[in-house]
Amino acid sequence: MNQEDKFKNVISHAKEYGFVFPSSEIYDGLSAVYDYGQLGAELKNNIKQYWWKSMVQMHENIVGIDSAIFMHPTTWKASGHVDAFNDPLIDNKDSKKRYRADVLVEDHIAKIEGKINKEVEKAAKRFGNSFDAEMFKQTNPRVAGYVAKIDAIEQRMKKCLDDGNLEDFKQLIIDEEIVDPISGSRNWTDVRQFNLMFSTEMGSTAEGANTIYLRPETAQGIFVNFLNVQKTGRMKIPFGIAQIGKAFRNEIVARQFIFRMREFEQMEMQFFVKPGTEMKWYEYWKAERMKWHLSLGIKESEYRFHDHIKMAHYANAAADIEFNFPFGFKELEGIHSRTDFDLKQHEMHSGKKLQYFDPEENKNYVPYVVETSIGLDRMFLAILSTAYEEETLEDGSTRTVLRLPAKMAPYKVAVLPLLKKDGLPEKAREVIDGLKGDFMCQYDEKDAIGRRYRRQDAIGTPFAITVDHQTLEDNTVTIRHRDSMKQERVAIEDVEAIVRKGVRG
Ligand code: ATP
């Protein structure tokens, strides 16, 4: 199955089993807005908990807050979002489709990268075992030409964006002969800037109402509370403030399911450090966040770092953790060294000091900040799409299985009476009652046992416990493992420990 088909199947699977629904579907949905269903909400909560635990519970010097979505409008003036939170957009006059100009250029670069990879593959076949790919890339004239071309395009795009030179941005697209992927035409409009913030009005009447914004990131809620938390929590630098919450962006092009949404959720942590130490902490958090991802047991080759060429207005170093989504490597998380930009801006606009008194240095300063920012919905998609598998079994039959990390699975245990009679349902209820205080459990007595196992495979339940006649005699059950489909007979009193061990991983 190719990746495109797999992605389609993941999307329909997510809907069929109650993970993700299009928002207000009975009215034909709302573009790039989604609802999480009964299983999606569980998976999402599990991701949040795992993140919160590893960031807040496991770090003595990190605390969590929950700030409001609405903030004083000056917040967004100070943060630079009113003036600079723009994407360059361009329309194709023939297809009438709208694109992000920078994404068109990035896709073009990806095509050139594809050509490099083809050359490398060809050469690898020609030279066999002695082939050194890195050496080849550096010395082969054709490949070197491609690399130089990519470099030149990236530099030119960066300059256009830095200088706000939108005419040259359009010229770059024309010079590179970039065509509309739908119509194949080069009939482009000019490039324009488009602000991504949603605005609304606060106050009951139109007169005197204030334009306020739906926050486009959760970070600013942390910055404006920096002193509140530092003072009340008696926090000593270095320390962090974490937050999980909704963010809103009027994305120009919103495709790819829950990858790019107009309403989404972020898990962010701002780490306040002594000026001059930020690069050390930037490297620390890059490594630490990658460790977090790998701790879920997803293959290392699915992740990579990507250093930014175009830095946001506030950053002096920035990298993405990219994930190999079904549509290729894309940003999953950002790690940014934000300097003292935000706190200084808020000092300037509010007229209030946002400084820390360092008892060791015996002086006040505005701390520097290293941020880790991950999209919850993107993490959800990463986990779901990696877990999804259509497996052919030894007997030639197939099953759809979600190989979710057990700690992420919506249900940890399914309890299944073999038959709907002979006291087996009652016994199964007894088993579930002993487990449901600790784990999400599902009871299912409908259909043949094989079909019930398949249903649990499809929603990623790691353990299925079957109660049969022998259970009534000796208090043992069979426990079936989702991934291996192996079954073992165990005492009911041992089930809890087995599940606990599996979930802890
Ligand atoms: P992109 O380049 O993909 O638009 P970004 O660089 O603007 O993303 P950040 O501002 O760094 O993203 O936001 C931090 C994280 O929030 C991202 O790594 C991503 O996981 C998530 N995120 C950003 N925009 C969206 C969106 N529209 N839908 C879902 N998640 C998003």
Residue 78 falls within a domain, yes or no?
no
Cα(399) to centroid of ligand 1, in Å? 34
In whole numbers, what is the pLDDT of the chain averaged over residues?
Answer: 94
Q: Which of 366, 401, 436 is the last residue of a domain?
A: 401
The SS3 call for residue 487 is: strand
Residue 157 falls within a domain, yes or no?
yes
> Mean of the pLDDT values across residues 42-57?
98
CB 319 within 8 A of CB 334: yes
What is the predicted pLDDT for the residue at 177? Answer: 95
Give 69's contacts (C-beta < 8 A, 6+ positions apart): 214, 215, 245, 246, 248
Residue 80 falls within a domain, yes or no?
no
Q: Does residue 135 carry a pLDDT above 90? A: no
CB 297 within 8 A of CB 50: no
Is 170 near ligand 1, meaning CB less than 6 Å away? Answer: no
Instruction: For residue 128, name the pLDDT band (cuts at 50, 70, 90).
Output: confident
Q: Flag whether the pTM goes above 0.85.
A: yes
Cα(94) to centroid of ligand 1, in Å? 29
- Which amino acid, residue 432? I
Beta bridge partners of 4: none
CB 408 within 8 A of CB 47: yes
Q: Does residue 23 carry a pLDDT above 90? A: yes
Q: Does residue 484 carry a pLDDT above 70? A: yes
What is the predicted pLDDT for the residue at 209? Answer: 64
CATH assignment of the domain containing 6 = 3.30.930.10
**Based on the domain organization, do 363 and 442 belong to the same domain?**
no
**Based on the domain organization, do 358 and 248 belong to the same domain?**
yes
Cα gap 183→92, rounded to integer Å: 9
**Based on the domain organization, do 130 and 235 belong to the same domain?**
no
**Based on the domain organization, do 234 and 380 belong to the same domain?**
yes
**Based on the domain organization, do 255 and 337 belong to the same domain?**
yes
What is the predicted pLDDT for the residue at 460? Answer: 98
**Based on the domain organization, do 58 and 114 belong to the same domain?**
no
Shortest-distance atom of ligand 1 to CA 373: 14
Is 378 near ligand 1, meaning CB less than 6 Å away? Answer: yes
Cα gap 289→54, rounded to integer Å: 10
For residue 377 the two structure tokens come to: 């919905």
Residue 81 falls within a domain, yes or no?
no
Instruction: For residue 451, name the pLDDT band (cuts at 50, 70, 90).
Output: very high
The SS3 call for residue 489 is: strand
Is 302 near ligand 1, meaning CB less than 6 Å away? Answer: no
Is 334 near ligand 1, meaning CB less than 6 Å away? Answer: yes
Which of 218, 285, 373 best tests ligand 1's pocket when mutated (most atoms within 8 Å of CB)? Answer: 373
Cα(504) to centroid of ligand 1, in Å? 30
314 vs 427: which has the higher pLDDT:
427
Of 176-180, 210-214, 364-368, 427-431, minimum mean pLDDT range? 210-214
Q: Which of 135, 162, 195 is the last residue of a domain?
A: 195
Number of domains observed in the structure of the chain: 3
For residue 297 the two structure tokens come to: 């047991």
Cα(320) to centroid of ligand 1, in Å? 10
Cα(77) to centroid of ligand 1, in Å? 20
Cα gap 405→392, rounded to integer Å: 21
Measured by CA distance, the residue closest to atom 11 of ligand 1 is 334
Is 264 near ligand 1, meaning CB less than 6 Å away? Answer: yes
**Based on the domain organization, do 391 and 418 belong to the same domain?**
no
Cα gap 145→116, rounded to integer Å: 10
Measured by CA distance, the residue closest to atom 21 of ligand 1 is 375
Cα(416) to centroid of ligand 1, in Å? 42
Q: How many CA atoms lie within 13 A of 289 on its CB side?
A: 28
Residue 406 falls within a domain, yes or no?
no
Measured by CA distance, the residue closest to atom 9 of ligand 1 is 334
Q: Does residue 206 carry a pLDDT above 70? A: no
What is the predicted pLDDT for the residue at 270? Answer: 98
**Based on the domain organization, do 39 and 131 belong to the same domain?**
no
**Based on the domain organization, do 328 and 464 belong to the same domain?**
no
Q: How many CB atoms are closer than 10 A to CB 75?
A: 23
Measured by CA distance, the residue closest to atom 13 of ligand 1 is 373
- Which structural domain range is residue 123 located in? 86-195
Measured by CA distance, the residue closest to atom 19 of ligand 1 is 375
Instruction: For residue 247, name the pLDDT band (cuts at 50, 70, 90).
Output: very high
Measured by CA distance, the residue closest to atom 31 of ligand 1 is 375
**Based on the domain organization, do 246 and 105 belong to the same domain?**
no
Shortest-distance atom of ligand 1 to CA 260: 28
**Based on the domain organization, do 58 and 129 belong to the same domain?**
no
Q: How many CB atoms are closer than 10 A to CB 466?
A: 22
CATH assignment of the domain containing 136 = 3.30.40.230
Cα(107) to centroid of ligand 1, in Å? 18
Residue 204 falls within a domain, yes or no?
no
Q: Which of 315, 282, 319 is nearest to 304 (CA)?
A: 319
Residue 79 falls within a domain, yes or no?
no
**Based on the domain organization, do 37 and 158 belong to the same domain?**
no
Measured by CA distance, the residue closest to atom 8 of ligand 1 is 331
